[in-house]
Amino acid sequence: MAKTLISYYSRSGNTKKMAEYIAEGFKTVTGMEVILKKVADTVIEDMLDSDVIIFGCPTYFGVMTAEVKDLMDKSVKYFGKLNGKIGGAFTSSGAIGGGNETTILSILQGFLIHGMIIQGIQKGNHYGPVSIGAPDENSKEECMRYGKMLGNLSLKISK
Ligand SMILES: Cc1cc2nc3c(=O)[nH]c(=O)nc-3n(C[C@H](O)[C@H](O)[C@H](O)COP(=O)(O)O)c2cc1C
């Protein structure tokens, strides 16, 4: 059974809510085990143990937060071992055009360097779910669809 890690950093709760919605979407795909963890509670072995790894954090100066970058940097210990796993990213920002897409891309860049598989989104937020402040109904939908999409991808790949 595919194991999924959703690791998030959230200071005021907006990204945390997004993480919960993504997990909810994931769980609609039969048999998916989802582990939802704060970045502070995540160890790099969690990444090694998971088939799908999703990172989320607020947009800080247009890139991922220091806590997430620290985890990404530590994951170099398993460079080569995350190859072929599925990756994903999401973020909450204060403003439209406040750097949310570049934040997602900064996370996905790290995952691509690990050799991970990234699925883009044809309809909706193309790189991964974004929310301006707390997720509204539309962001909630984006998150749930994203979880479901990556869940289905992992089922397809594990066949
Ligand atoms: C240090 C810091 C830097 C930030 N930089 C940006 C930014 O570059 N662009 C933006 O739109 N919002 C920025 N914000 C706002 C947060 O991304 C936004 O409030 C987000 O919704 C917080 O998510 P959280 O509730 O998960 O902590 C910044 C906030 C902080 C504290």
CATH at 11: 3.40.50.360
- Contact 62 CB / ligand 1 (< 6 Å): yes
Question: Which contiguous run of DSSP H or E holds residue 36?
Answer: strand 33-38
What tens-digit pLDDT sequence spans the chain (159 residues)? 779 999 999 999 999 999 999 999 999 997 788 999 999 999 999 999 999 999 999 999 999 999 999 999 999 999 999 999 999 999 999 999 999 999 999 999 999 999 999 999 999 999 999 999 999 999 999 999 999 999 999 999 887
Which amino acid would we find at residue 93? Answer: S
Residues 6+ apart with CB under 8 A from 76: none
Total of domains in the chain: 1
- Contact 14 CB / ligand 1 (< 6 Å): yes
Q: Whole-model pTM?
A: 0.98
Mutate to test the pocket of ligand 1, among 90, 93, 132 (most ligand atoms within 8 A of CB): 93
What residue numbers bound the domain in which 91 lies? 3-158
